[in-house]
Amino acid sequence: AQKVTQAQTEISVVEKEDVTLDCVYETRDTTYYLFWYKQPPSGELVFLIRRNSFDEQNEISGRYSWNFQKSTSSFNFTITASQVVDSAVYFCALSETSGSRLTFGEGTQLTVNP
């Protein structure tokens, strides 16, 4: 069975601070995919990133970066120089294949205060 744990229920930071959202996963599959989604107050789900289990390179996209550590089954997400518009619920998710059902974590509510 697959499981995703986001231990941080809520995080509150002040604008321009860096913030890291933790994600730990469990799976017996040797091939799997990891995702991060953003859910702003408007409610839609915004895709942020997909990584497969064979690619452990860290990735940076603007102020966003992701640290995939297979040894600790973690896929953490860092926002550098946070902004108020980053306030949202962030979900980490896991799937056996890229197009298959996703197992989501419970989400982390990030609030960035001005």
Q: Which is nearer to another protein, 18 or 47 (CB)?
A: 47
Q: Which is nearer to another protein, 37 or 77 (CB)?
A: 37
Q: How many residues does the chain have?
A: 114
The least CB distance from residue 48 to another protein, in Å, is 11
Enumerate binding residues for another protein (CB under 8 A). Answer: 37, 43-47, 50, 91, 93, 97-107
The least CB distance from residue 16 to another protein, in Å, is 28
Q: Which is nearer to another protein, 34 or 112 (CB)?
A: 34
